[in-house]
Structure 1
Amino acid sequence: MITIEEIDKINKNNLSPLTVLAGEDMGQYAQLKERLLKKIGFDKDDLTYSYFDMAETSYQEAEMDLESLPFFSDSKVVIFDNLLDITTDKKSFLDEKELKRFEAYLENPVETTRLIICVPGKLDGKRRLVKLLKRDAKVFEARQLKEAELKTYFQKYAHQEGLVFETGAFEELLIKSNFDFSDTLTNIAFLKSYKKDGHITSQDISEAIPKTLQDNIFDLTQFVLSGKIDGARELVRDLRLQGEDEIKLIAIMLGQFRTFLQVKNLASQGKSEQQIVMELSDYLGRRVNPYQVKFALRDSRTLSLPFLKKAVVTLIETDYAIKQGKFDKDYLFDIALLKIAHERS
């Protein structure tokens, strides 16, 4: 069970005396925090709740509320937000004496108080505070989900929202969302408002979800490969007007061509799609998305290895020339696109 499904089971009545929410996946962390506060019915105007941003509040003030008995009900909820002292972040808001007092509280918490600690970042397992919390608290961590976990969760979620995807469309949604939890959640909301009947096609994904810079660079690459130079120039002009820098455009474009080259090279050795995923993952030191390989194989099918090598070299040389300041970067980038288009033709 993933973290958000665990949080969905929480309410104010079954809240643990000590609860910790942490995580390095900032998008997911924000969603989990919002969901947690909603599940416990947090209301800043309700006197049975106390909220302290530890980046702005003295520990002494928060400690008084933490250790005092509730006045308006049998129990109260105290929230310590941004307590970065328990993360690997180097920031610290509590001094040594305050840390000792907080440790003493964790060893013997007030029975009528429910303490929630929210920290964006990775818990520092070497700290005594963290060891105490992992021993006694209910800990929720916003970790990067595995692809299968992400897919399963959002398939269920989309079904609950009344959405039905045609074959391949759901995978396109995940790719368009960069397999990011927060982006996928946002894009499902876009689709729900865009298609009232809930039937989602590949065309809906393309039309309803805003294009990312990666999408625009992919379009640019396709313009160049198909010899549509006017389309490429117009798109580049739009990207420049949006404030995108040529160095950044080259970096993304280079990444696409390198992926084409890698999968094409492995495929030419008789490797299967699954073997390519495994070998690239080992080479890059991270899990490569199978759908990224699938689409790279499709898009590089008509491209030769010599052409891809020349395209990569052209982009690397252009990047170097721009950084050397030899000529105007707009001119150098435009020339690079023309060279690639010429090689392709």
Structure 2
Amino acid sequence: MIILDKIKKLKASQLPPILVLAGDDLGQYQECKAALLASIGFEASDLTYSYFDLEETSFEQAALDLESLPFFADEKIVIFDNFFDMTTNKKNILTDTEMKQFESYLANPVVSTRLIICCAGKLDGKRRLVKLLKRDGLVFEAESLKEPELRAYIDREAQALGLTFTSGALEQLLLKSNFDFSTSLKNLLFLKTYKGKEKITSTDVNDLLPKSLQDNIFDLTQFVLQAKLLSARELAHDLTLQGEDVIKLIAVMLGQIRFFAQLKTLQSMGKAENQLISDLSEYLGRKVNPYQVKFALRDMRHYSLDFLQESMKILIETDYQIKQGRYEKDYLFDLALLKISQLK
């Protein structure tokens, strides 16, 4: 069960004295935070709840409320938001004196108060505060889900929305979403709006969902490899106008072409698709998505290994020249596109 499912099962009456929510998967953290507030029935106007954004409110004021007895009910819930002191974020909210005061509270919390501490970011396990929270509180940390967990959750959410996918369409959605939790959920709702209860195909996913940066750079890579220089330059220009740096474009293009070259090398050994997936997963040290390999095999079939390797050399040399400041980077990038288009 993922953290979001656990949080949805919480009730205000069942809260422990101290509950912590953090996480460096920002999309999942935001979903978990919204679910937590909904689960406990948080209402800003309800005086049995006290909410403090520690970026905007002094800890002195928050601590006064935390340490006082409830006035309007037998119990109260206090929420400390943006408590950066417990994460690897270098920003600190509490002074040393305030930290000691807070640690004293953790050692002897008010029996009638339930404290919820929230902050986006990875918990800093080296901090004394985090060690105390893990020892005395219930801690939820939203970390990036593994692919099977994400796939199972999105599939379940799709069913709850009444959506059905044809073979491969759900995988295509996850690929288009770059296996990001928040993006996958947004794209799911987007498809619900446009398709309703109709079956969703891979074509629907490609045509309806907005293009991500990864999609645009994939198109850029394909234009370059196919010697469609004008289309490549227009798309590259559009991306730079949107604020994307040329060095970033080169890095993503290199990653895509390198993946093609790795597959091409393994394919030249006469290996079947399943074996390609297994060998590449072992080589990269992570589970490679089968559909990523399937689509790559389709898209790279017209390119020789020599061509892919030479293209990589040109991009690597261009990246080096840009970082050395030899010429203006847009000029060097245009020159690289021209060189690759002339390889064939």
1:207-226 equivalence runs, <5 A: 207-226=207-226
CA distance in 2, matches of 1:295, 1:3: 32
Deviation of the 1:141 alpha carbon: 0.9
Q: Is the 8 A contact 2:177 2:187 kept in 1?
A: yes
1:6 is matched with 6
1:304 is matched with 304
Percent identity over paired residues: 61
Deviation of the 1:163 alpha carbon: 0.9
CA distance in 1, matches of 2:196, 2:135: 48
Q: Which amino acid aligns with 2:179?
A: F
CA distance in 1, matches of 2:134, 2:331: 57
CA distance in 1, matches of 2:122, 2:233: 44
Deviation of the 1:271 alpha carbon: 4.7
CA distance in 2, matches of 1:239, 1:120: 29
Deviation of the 1:104 alpha carbon: 2.4
Deviation of the 1:283 alpha carbon: 4.8
Deviation of the 1:240 alpha carbon: 3.6
- Aligned-residue Cα RMSD (Å) equals 2.3
* C-alpha distance 239-123 of structure 1, shift in aligned 2 (>3 A): closer
Q: Is the 8 A contact 1:162 1:198 kept in 2?
A: no
1:1-345 equivalence runs, <5 A: 1-271=1-271, 273=273, 276-277=276-277, 279-281=279-281, 283-284=283-284, 286-344=286-344
Deviation of the 1:154 alpha carbon: 0.6
Q: Which amino acid aligns with 2:213?
A: L
* C-alpha distance 128-251 of structure 1, shift in aligned 2 (>3 A): closer
* C-alpha distance 43-335 of structure 1, shift in aligned 2 (>3 A): same
For residues 58-98 of structure 1, the C-alpha deviation after alignment (integer angstroms, 9 at most, x for no partner) is 32211111121222222111001122222233332223332
Deviation of the 1:121 alpha carbon: 1.8
Structure 1 stretch displaced more, 178-187 or 205-214: 205-214
Deviation of the 1:282 alpha carbon: 5.3
- Give 5+ residue unaligned stretches, structure 1: none
Structure 1 stretch displaced more, 294-303 or 166-175: 294-303
For residues 151-205 of structure 1, the C-alpha deviation after alignment (integer angstroms, 9 at most, x for no partner) is 0011000110111111111001000101010111111111111212342111221
Deviation of the 1:232 alpha carbon: 2.6
CA distance in 2, matches of 1:337, 1:183: 31
Q: Is the 8 A contact 2:163 2:196 kept in 1?
A: no
- Give 5+ residue unaligned stretches, structure 2: none
Q: Is the 8 A contact 1:81 1:119 kept in 2?
A: yes
Deviation of the 1:3 alpha carbon: 0.3
Give the match's secondary structure for 1:73. coil
* C-alpha distance 13-298 of structure 1, shift in aligned 2 (>3 A): same
* C-alpha distance 85-308 of structure 1, shift in aligned 2 (>3 A): same
Q: Which amino acid aligns with 1:167?
A: S
Number of residues of Structure 1 aligned to a counterpart in Structure 2: 344
* C-alpha distance 330-129 of structure 1, shift in aligned 2 (>3 A): closer
* C-alpha distance 229-59 of structure 1, shift in aligned 2 (>3 A): closer
CA distance in 1, matches of 2:190, 2:139: 32
